[in-house]
Amino acid sequence: IDVLPDLLTNLRQWTLTHRGDYGGRVCYWQNDGRDAMEVSISGSGCRPTIESVMFGEAVALLEIAKLAGNTSVIEELTTLRDQTRQVVLHQMWNPNIQSFAVIPLGAPPPPE
């Protein structure tokens, strides 16, 4: 519980540097090869791996916030949890390949 402020800072920094609105899709992006998938055929963009990690972080931090009695962040974390889940399940699922797929970005993201 004591590390909640640091974990929230980390989550918010990732959101600031790796989340954006790309043609009406608000999602977390990552350069190809920077999310432990090595370089794959899907390329850079809004990747299921990073979106899923951020969903998991929101779920975990929401539970920690509840345990800590920190009600000030519950709405923020609930919204992020719901948004990231929506992106993965409804925007990243590709029925043609029956798998989750990267949402390519129009232009490459800036270097990290």
Per residue in 9-60, pLDDT (tens digit) is 999 999 999 998 887 889 998 887 666 666 666 778 888 989 999 999 999 9
pLDDT of residue 110 exceeding 60, the answer is no
The DSSP-derived string for the chain is -TTHHHHHHHHHHHHHHHEEEETTEEEEEE-TTSSSS-S-TT-SEE-HHHHHHHHHHHHHHHHHHHHHT-GGGHHHHHHHHHHHHHIIIIISEETTTTEE--EE-SSPPPP-
Query: What per-residue confidence (pLDDT) applies to 14?
Result: 94
61-90 tens-digit pLDDT: 999 999 999 999 999 999 999 999 999 999
Confidence band of 106 (pLDDT split at 50, 70, 90): low
Record the pTM. 0.85
* Residue 68 pLDDT: 94
